[in-house]
Structure 1
Amino acid sequence: MAMTRSAEATPTRRPGPTAVAGLRRVLGGEVVGPADDGYDAHRRVWNGSIDRRPALIARCRGVDDVRAALRFGRDQQLPIAVRSGGHSFPGLSTCDDGLLIDLRQMGGIRVDPDARTAGAQAGVLLGELDSATQEHGLAVPAGIVSHTGLAGLTLGGGIGWIQRRYGLTVDSLLSADVVTADGEFVRASQDENADLFWGLRGGGGNFGIVTHFRFRLHPLGPQVMAGATFWPMEQAASVLRRHRDWLAGCPDELMTLVVQRLAPPLPVVPHELVGRPVIAVVACYAGDVEEGERVLRPMRDFGSPVLDLFASKPFLAHQQMFDPSFRHGCWYYVRSCDVAELSDDVIDVVVEHGRRISSPLSSIALWQMGGAVARVGEDETAFNGRGAGFTFNINGNTATADGFDEQRQWARDYWSALAPFHTSVYVNFLMEEGDARVREAYGEAKYQRLRTLKRKYDPANVFRINQNIRPD
């Protein structure tokens, strides 16, 4: 994979031993360099196709460490990457020949069930937050893979299983603690640095390093009606049309993904089905379990399903359903777009390209949008595309480098076939696709507002290893 464009744009030099020794003295956490034990383990990110070698890794334990590391990186004129969970598809949570500020050790969580709020440090993973909040029958709307980093997901917007009832992750964000490019510590909320708070809710890591999030919590579970029904891929056209009709007027408690893939080798999948092309409707009903059973039944009973995995289950279990399909170290490539509706023409593209899946790890997930997501004003947050009907996530994946080029091309071809129907794109589903695609993710008016904010908080573009909003 290519180096990030931001790293390419900046000449770099290796920090000298005296400077590195100085950082080791002031950092409460660990400084790891190429010659140190554990360097290879610490430099790895989730996407195995990303193989970058930072000059140094600063494993921070708290805000003071973050400020010290940032000061060091600026003084040494190093490119600076920031990692929480390291789940960035294009590998924008690491860099070559720069400073990686690693927040994973900052994993504190505090839940106040009476106030229905939760505080979480920037190194927290979704599964860790879910475990803490579900003890009280509460949840933060978040993603669908439990080892995703909370910080990156939140700063891009945060779509997930309960978004249609409770909105995006950013819609539950109450405040964020931020270390800005000049090393200042500030808090952003509706009442404090409101312009920054607006930009953090969808604008990614462009404006500073968020060290702590405070969220509003919502009642959920702990049991939910959730799972998946699978049909042979040959029935894709009829399943998609049934799905479209079934969703008309559906309650906000229902959230669905349509998945195309080869049936995975999991214990719940019969041996004779493994490797066969299938289309599935995966869903979570964020409400009464019996009501969820009633709402889901018309879809589950349609056609000739080959496997039905819906059941009343802990929300925590459902949140881990996709974990085996997105393991650490596999090779991942994604193309994405929003579409207004699941029209017959869109369905034709889905049917045609779904039958071409050849890797056990390649898939598409067609996210249902709407509900509470669409009821937040488009200008209230930096997140764009609240009016989208569906979001495509097209994954061309392999276990190793073997066959990766072919799967990447399959994802590109699928995405290109959908081009007449593109409306926008979710910024967290972008690869490194250039400035024009970043602009598309926000729309021109919102992008210009974000540029103004960038000029205020990071005029030198210190935080540029991201889906970058350039200040100039």
Structure 2
Amino acid sequence: MSQVTQGTEIDGTAVDELQTTFRGEIVRRGDAGYDEHRKVWNGSIDRRPAVIARCTGVADIRAAIRLARSQGLLTAVRGGGHSFPGLSVCDDGMLIDLGLMKGIRVDPEARTVRVQAGVLLGELDRETQEFGLAVPSGIVTHTGVAGLTLGGGIGWIMRKHGLTIDQLLSVDLITADGELVTASEEHNADLFWGVRGGGGNFGIVTDFEFQLVPVGPQVMAGPVFWAMEDAPEVLRFYRDWIGNCPDELMTAVVQRRAPALPIVPPELVGRHVVSVVACYAGPVEEGERVMRPLKEFGSPVLDFCRPKLFLEHQKMFDPSFPHGWSYYVRSCDVAGLSDDVIDIATEHGLRITSPVTSVAMWQLGGAVGRIDDDATAFNGRKAGFTFNINGNSKTEDGFDAERQWARDYWSALAPHHTGVYVNFLMEEGEERVRQAYGAAKYERLKALKRQYDPTNFFRLNQNIKPG
């Protein structure tokens, strides 16, 4: 018997019995690989579950849920393990790990793909780009498809093709009672509304079906950098430049210190820079024409915006967000880049000290904003930008200072907050979750929670309490 949570013990015999029929792998403390399998992307998270159930399919997941419920175990669910606050692992309880579930089936004629819950974005991109197709998805290839999708899914082609959830056709989901249900516009439409933005609150999604969209294989994409001191002029030009931009153009403004990468000249490494990263989801020649004013503005210190494979662009941010570093984020939506927002951004951007801290301001609009806001649980389609303020460090050394910098930046923007993207929340409490959805959607989500998970078994997430 080993201690699990206060007042709860796990029955070792029950785990032994599970292991006899389990097709995947059961990992307990002391087993080979335990420390590796409990790790998540955010290195500041160090949690030790009592048992890890590495599932291969529906039968394994249902068996793991039955054990967890019979033992009263706190249960975490992990797809890619990319949650900023580390909600995909827990202390003492059960970790249901979906990382072995890697199935991807592309139907190039129907332009659809079925994806299992352990698939990472880069794995999905590789299969779909073989046919010149893609699912609108995120910006770091080792992010899990499951977590990204269930929160909404922002990425490089969303202004043309919408959020990840806007191309979602159906899901298969296992409830806390072990029931396997399908949700789509035709079946369990209420649940389908909820999983498109409501996170893992209603059960474990085992399979996703997406509509694919044509992209690439080559796109015009990449960053143009200026000195941070030039940010006020650069961002005011940028604001005007994107004012009537086509849906094919997606951009993000990034602030950081120039990284020590082989393509960065040594004299620029460590210098405060601001960049506009762009991706044109259309013909390369059109992208070159649209982006020419950006590339010619002011005095860029670096320009890596060029024709490239879409797969290459999707991997661009991977070196800036590897596994094991310490990550902290504060986030908010804003209506636009007003002069005041630009001045705040410039002031706090110049205060960046860590070589791996960064800010990304994600441009919204286009196809994202044209979908009816009530069509999905995702909230904030009418926002202008989503700020992702990352106070990061390679180790715990200096991490406290980076977190405080992120909080200060976020607080300075407070008069301009219009909402927050749920995938960019830390563990910030119920009121912040309510803000992420808005009052009306939050109440609708609570009703769904009461229907599908009335005991709040799935509570290690941006939790919507059923009560």
Q: TM-score, normalised by structure 2?
A: 0.99
Mapped contact 2:11–2:71 kept (Cα < 8 A)? no
Determine if the alignment matches structure 1 residue 194 to structure 2 residue 196.
Answer: no
Q: CA 1:255/1:12 → structure 2, altered by over 3 Å: closer, same or farther?
A: farther
Question: Does the C-alpha gap of structure 1 residues 274 and 12 become closer, same or farther in structure 2, counting only changes over 3 Å?
Answer: farther
2 CA distance for matches of 1:338 and 1:213?
28
* Aligned mate of 2:448, from 434, 447, 453: 453
What secondary structure is seen at the aligned counterpart in 2 of 1:281?
strand
> What code does the residue aligned with 1:109 have?
I
The answer to whether the aligner puts 1:265 opposite 2:238 as a matched pair is: no
1:152 aligns with 2:147: yes
CA drift of 1:307 comes to 0.4
Matched residues in 2 for 1:122 and 1:12: separation? 32
* Matched position secondary structure for 2:146: helix
* Match runs of 1:166-245 below 5 Å: 166-245=161-240
Q: How many residues align?
A: 464
Contact 1:341 1:389 in 2 (8 A): yes
The residue aligned with 2:426 is 431
TM-aligned CA distance change 1:198 to 1:425, over 3 Å: same
1:188 alignment partner, SS class: strand
Rounded to whole Å, the distance in 1 between the matches of 2:262 and 2:316 is 12
Following TM superposition, by how much is the alpha carbon of 1:13 offset from its aligned partner in structure 2, in angstroms? 2.3
1:12 Cα deviation after fit: 5.3
Tell me if structure 2 keeps the 8 A contact 1:331–1:398: yes
The one-letter code sitting in structure 2 at the alignment partner of 1:283 is: A
Q: Residues 45-83 of structure 1: CA distance to partner in whole angstroms, max 9, x if unpaired?
A: 000000000010000001110010011100110001000
Separation in 2 of the partners of 1:452 and 1:374?
26
The 1-side partners of 2:346 and 2:302 are apart by 20
The amino acid of 2:251's aligned partner reads: T
Aligned twin of 2:248: 253
User: Counterpart of 1:279?
Assistant: 274
Judged with a 3 Å threshold, the aligned counterparts in structure 2 of structure 1 residues 12 and 352 are, in CA distance, closer, same or farther, namely farther
Matched, 1:408 2:403: yes
Contact residue 57 and residue 101 of structure 2 kept, 8 A: yes
Counterpart of 1:392 in structure 2 is: 387
**Corresponding residue of 2:26:** 31
Aligned equivalent of 2:346: 351
Q: How far apart in 2 are the matches of 1:457 and 1:201?
A: 15
Tell me if the contact between 1:12 and 1:78 (Cα under 8 Å) persists in the aligned partners: no
Confirm whether residue 334 of structure 1 aligns to residue 313 of structure 2.
no
Residue by residue, what CA displacement relative to the aligned partner does 1:122-163 show, whole Å, maximum 9, x if unpaired? 000000000000000000000000000000000000000000
Tell me the distance in 1 between the aligned counterparts of 2:61 and 2:145: 17
Q: Equivalent residue of 1:388, what SS? A: coil
Looking at structure 2, the residues matched to 316 and 160 of structure 1 have their Cα atoms a distance apart, in angstroms, of 13
Deviations 1:332-369 (A, max 9, x none): 00000000011001011001100000001101000000
Once the two structures are overlaid, the 10-residue window that deviates more, 161-170 or 16-25, is 16-25
Alignment of 1:12-31 (within 5 A): 13-31=8-26
- What is the rounded CA distance, in whole Å, between the counterparts of 2:6 and 2:212 in structure 1? 45
Deviation for aligned residue 1:189:
0.3
Q: Which runs of 5+ in 1 are unaligned?
A: 1-7
Contact kept? 1:14, 1:97, Cα under 8 Å: no
SS at match of 2:457: coil
Distance in 1, matches of 2:272 and 2:9, equals 49
Aligned partner of residue 110 in structure 1, secondary structure: strand
Shift in alpha-carbon separation, 1:290–1:195, aligned structure 2, 3 A: same
- Show CA shifts across 1:100-141 (max 9, x none): 000000000000000000000000000000000000000000
Q: What does residue 100 of structure 1 align with? A: 95
Write out per-residue CA displacement over residues 218-262 of structure 1, whole angstroms, 9 at most, x where no aligned residue.
000000000110001110100110110000100000000100000
Q: Give distance in 2, aligned partners of 1:199 and 1:177.
A: 13
- State the 1:11 CA deviation: 4.0
Q: TM-score, normalised by structure 1?
A: 0.98
- The answer to whether the Cα contact below 8 Å between 2:134 and 2:212 also exists between their aligned partners in 1 is yes
Q: Which runs of 4+ in 1 moved over 3 A?
A: none
What's the offset of the Cα at 1:272? 1.2
CA distance in 2, matches of 1:22, 1:369: 50
Which residue does the alignment assign to 1:370? Answer: 365
Identity of aligned residues (%): 70
Q: Aligned partner of 1:291: which letter?
A: E
Equivalent-residue separation in structure 1 for 2:437 and 2:444 (angstroms): 10
1:81 aligns with 2:76: yes
What is the rounded CA distance, in whole Å, between the counterparts of 1:223 and 1:13 in structure 2? Answer: 55
Measured in 1, the distance between the counterparts of 2:203 and 2:419 equals 25
- Say whether the 8 Å CA contact 2:170–2:183 is kept in structure 1: yes
User: Who is 2:416 aligned against?
Assistant: 421
Partner of 1:67: 62
Paired with 1:405 and 1:85, the residues of 2 have a C-alpha distance of: 26
Q: Give the whole-Å Cα distance in 2 for the aligned partners of 1:138 and 1:90.
A: 32
